[in-house]
Amino acid sequence: MKYISITLIYRCIVAIGLVVLLAGGCKKDEPQPTQPSQELFWVTNKGSQMPVLMTGNKGSASIVLFIHGGPGSSSIEIAGIYSGNSPSNLTDNFLLASWDQRYAGYSINPDPIDWSMVNVDQYAEDCAMVTDQLKIRFPGKKIIVAGHSWGGAVLTKFISNSAYQDRYDGWVTAEGMVNGFELANAMLSYSSRRCNELIAEGKIQYADTLAYLNSVTLDPVAYDMPTFLRLQMSAISLAIPGEKPLDPEVLSRCAQLEKSVFPDSADQVRKINNAGSPVNLEIFYNQIYFINSNASYVNISKPGLIIWGENDCVVPVDAAYPFTGRLSSLGKTFQFKLYPDCWHTPMFSNSEQYISDIKNFVDGL
C-alpha cells in the first residue's frame, strides 16, 4: 500500500468538511477571467450568488461541469489542473464549467448562515439551476456533471432526481459520498483491514485498536457522532506510517476536536481554520450520515463513470461497491475505474489517468 504524508492527510480532512461553508460575502478578491477565452457568470438561487468560471474549448460539443468537494472547497481555484501539455487534457478538448457552491469558494451568501439552505437536496437544486444557465448560454451542447467527495453526494442527488433527467447527458463521480451509513461502514471495514495487516506484520500494538473496532455497531437510523468521528480519525490515522490510532493521544485529540466543534450550545458556530470560515460540523456530519439516494437510482437515465482510489482512507473503496451493485441490479450503464496507489484526490495524485479517463468517457457519449 502506498501511504500519504501527514500534510496530505490534513488536506484530505479539509476536503471532506472539517473546514466548511464559507459564509457572508465572497473572498477578498473575487474571481476574474485570466484569459480572453474565459468567461465568468453568476447563478442566483434562494439568497446565494454562485460563480461559474468557463474555461476551455468553446467549440466543443460537450461541457463538463465540476461539482467540488468539502463542502467548502472551490472548483474555480483548481480549474487550471485540467490543462497541460498532454493530448488528453480537458481544456483543449471540452468546455469546462467550474462552479463554486453556496457557502463555498467565491460564492456570495446571506450572513449569518441560513442553515435551512445547507442540505444536499438544496445543493442538487442549485446544480440544476447551473445546468439551466449552461443550456441557455451554450445551447445544443451536452452537459456532463462531475462530482468529487461531497460533490459526489450532490451529483448523486441530482442525477437520481426524476425532474432533472433532461439537464445532463452523462455523469462522473470520483470517490463520492453516495450513502452516509455505508460510508461509516466503509471506514470501519477499512480500519479493521488495516489493523489486521499491521498485526500480521508483527505490530501487535494495534490489537487494542482492532478490539475497539470489533466492538463498534452502527445504526442506520441513529447517528452516533463520537463513534463516527473516531472511525474517521482511525481510518486516517491508519494511513499514516507510525501513527498509533486510538491510543490515548489520538483519543485525546478526538475529544478536543469534539469539544471545539460540537459545543454545548448547538447553535454556536466555531471558527477553526486560518481563513476564519464559520463552521458547524454537527450539522455537516448529520448531513453526511443520513445521505441516502438508494430508492432514486432507478431514475438515473444517462451513462456514468465511477472513479475510486484503492487507498482512499476518507471515502474508502468499500463504499463504492454497494453503489455499483445497485446500479448493476437496475441495469444502469456505467464504467468503474479503480486506481491502485491512489488516495482521495485522483485529480492531483493520478491526474494523467484521471483526465484521460474522463476524456475517453465524454468522447464516447
**From CA 90, how far away is CA 214, in angstroms rounded?**
44
Same domain for 302 and 345? Answer: yes
Same domain for 34 and 171? Answer: yes
Asked whether residue 219 is domain-assigned, the answer is yes
pTM for this structure?
0.82
> Among the three residues 209, 240, 274, which one is the final residue of a domain in this structure?
274
Grid coordinates representing 133? 444557465
Asked whether residue 344 is domain-assigned, the answer is yes
For the chain, the domain total comes to 2
Residue 265 has pLDDT above 60, yes or no: no
- Model confidence over 326-346: pLDDT tens digits? 999 999 999 999 999 888 889
Same domain for 138 and 196? Answer: no
Burial class (CB in 10 A: 0-12, 13-18, 19+), 200: exposed
Same domain for 26 and 159? Answer: yes
From the list 155, 156, 83, the residue with the least C-alpha distance to 355 is: 83
Segments forming the whole domain that contains residue 33: 14-179+290-363
From the list 93, 82, 91, 97, the residue with the least C-alpha distance to 127 is: 97
Question: Read out DSSP for 85-151?
Answer: SSTT-HHHHSEEEEEPPTTSTT-B--SS--GGG-SHHHHHHHHHHHHHHHHHHSTT-EEEEEEETHH
- Model confidence over 9-62: pLDDT tens digits? 333 443 334 333 333 333 435 655 555 468 999 999 999 999 999 999 999 999
